Structure 1
Amino acid sequence: MGTDIDAEAYADRVRERRRRKDEFFGDHPRSPVPQSARDDFPGLNYFDPDPAYRSEAALREHDDPDRITVETTRDGVREYDNVGAFRVAVDGEDVTVQAYRSPGETDRLWVPFRDATAGEETYPAGRYLDLEDPDDRTDDGAWVLDFNAAYNPYCAYNEAYECPLVPTDNWLDVAIRAGERLPDL
């Protein structure tokens, strides 16, 4: 899955992004961590950075994207357009994940997934990747899917939040041991 990159420099960049996120979660007024838990907030739990979980892939765009309705953690619904799919290898196994956009969105892809770690090592409802154009694109137009950036939805930290559930098309049989783990809250 990975590409030829300097593993040490890559891991340092991942750790720096995580440090900034931990700071936000521990101090910011908009943090999903309940105020009562912020004083003792130890930071989020993560798998070790691993460039093998970073890949570059073309988005196989659907000719006529379907609008889907996604249930949420609080019995609501949200709509997304299923705009395409990525095919990547995880531990030698081909995996296809669907990419979605909110209606009217043009520059952002939402790639939610639920893998074999869900409920044991990671949030039971799944995790998310957000991809931004052009930030997450290579010079030749491929998208960078970096599962080291996989994150838990805010509802994993505070049940006051309503989060979209992962569509069953993105329930994966493989374990993706990258990104955020179960929180300690």
Structure 2
Amino acid sequence: MKLLYYVLFLSVFIISCSDKLSPEETAYIKKIEEHRGQVNEFMKSDPRSPFNFKNKVEFHELNYFDVNPEFVFKSKLYEYPEKDTVIIYGTKGEPRETIKYGYVKFHYGGEEYKVNVYESTGSDGTKYYSIWFTDKTTNKESYGVGRYLDFEKQDDPNYIYTIDFNLAYNPYCAYNPNYSCAIPSKEDYIPLEIRAGEKKFHN
């Protein structure tokens, strides 16, 4: 009987230790949670938010997966030698031209994954860069159109980017049907459950 109690105690102790987070992970989780609080406040109160800007939409707090440090990766930006102009479509069916500029890559569960980075030009001529994707949670736990990640391109070709799926967010059309948002292509599908970032707003 004593041996049984010892085994049970040891099992609980091992599980407890494995659940402990490093100070860096604890600080990271706090940082992401604070960011989510700021996003909620913007969505609720700012006149530019999709809940307030066009037609008023009832607000409730955004839904998120638990913060998961395992879904933070580092990668260079690998430029395509030939940068093809491609057509993607908005959720209202309109075609949009964008340039398939390059990709980032990451390893998870022993597999390598690639995510495209697109270059677009705003109405003022400014170039901006985007990542949008779908994954195995799409249209189940996460938004059916897909999710986005901000990407700020650097001039240094050897710059190491942080690809943090805990910051993945829904486009504005997830909250307000007056908006049209870029639809990720079949090539932007990641065959993995990315249980990080924002979930569906409407269940």
Give 2:189's aligned residue.
171
Greater C-alpha Rg: 2
Q: Secondary structure at the match of 2:36?
A: helix
Aligned partners of 1:112 and 1:170 also within 8 Å? yes
Give 1:62's aligned residue.
80
Q: Which of the pair is proportionally richer in helix?
A: 2
1:98 is aligned to 2:113? no
Task: Report the Cα distance in structure 2 between the residues aligned to 1:129 and 1:145, rounded to whole angstroms.
Answer: 8
Provide TM-score, normalisation by structure 2. 0.80
Aligned partners of 2:57 and 2:176 also within 8 Å? no
Give 1:37's aligned residue.
58
Task: Report the Cα distance in structure 2 between the residues aligned to 1:17 and 1:127, rounded to whole angstroms.
Answer: 17
> Structure 1 regions of 5+ residues with no counterpart?
none
Stretches of 4+ moved more than 3 A in 1? 103-106
Question: How do 1:30-179 residues align onto structure 2 when only pairs under 5 Å count?
Answer: 30-33=48-51, 35-38=56-59, 41=60, 43-103=61-121, 105-106=126-127, 108-133=128-153, 141-179=159-197
RMSD: 2.1
Task: Report the Cα distance in structure 1 between the residues aligned to 2:23 and 2:196, rounded to whole angstroms.
Answer: 17
Q: Which amino acid aligns with 2:105?
A: R
> Structure 2 regions of 5+ residues with no counterpart?
1-21
Q: Secondary structure at the match of 1:73?
A: coil
- Name the count of aligned residue pairs: 175
Aligned partners of 2:132 and 2:148 also within 8 Å? yes
Q: Which amino acid aligns with 2:146?
A: G
Give 2:17's aligned residue.
none
Shift of 1:98: 0.8
Task: Report the Cα distance in structure 2 between the residues aligned to 1:149 and 1:5, rounded to whole angstroms.
Answer: 20
Task: Report the Cα distance in structure 1 between the residues aligned to 2:88 and 2:137, rounded to whole angstroms.
Answer: 22
Shift of 1:5: 8.1
Task: Report the Cα distance in structure 1 between the residues aligned to 2:199 and 2:39, rounded to whole angstroms.
Answer: 14
Alignment deviations for residues 119-167 of structure 1 (CA, whole Å, 9 cap, x no partner): 1100011101111145xx99x6111100001001100101100001002
Give identity over the alignment, percent. 34
Q: Which amino acid aligns with 1:161?
A: Y
Aligned partners of 2:103 and 2:117 also within 8 Å? yes
Q: Secondary structure at the match of 2:74?
A: strand
Q: Which amino acid aligns with 2:134?
A: R
Shift of 1:93: 2.3
Shift of 1:90: 2.9
Task: Report the Cα distance in structure 2 between the residues aligned to 1:152 and 1:168, rounded to whole angstroms.
Answer: 18
Q: Which amino acid aligns with 2:148?
A: Y
Seen in structure 2, the aligned counterparts of structure 1 residues 158 and 91 have a Cα distance that, compared at 3 Å, is farther
Task: Report the Cα distance in structure 2 between the residues aligned to 1:18 and 1:141, rounded to whole angstroms.
Answer: 27
Aligned partners of 1:54 and 1:147 also within 8 Å? yes
Task: Report the Cα distance in structure 2 between the residues aligned to 1:120 and 1:94, rounded to whole angstroms.
Answer: 24
Task: Report the Cα distance in structure 2 between the residues aligned to 1:162 and 1:28, rounded to whole angstroms.
Answer: 20
Task: Report the Cα distance in structure 2 between the residues aligned to 1:50 and 1:92, rounded to whole angstroms.
Answer: 18
Q: Secondary structure at the match of 2:105?
A: strand
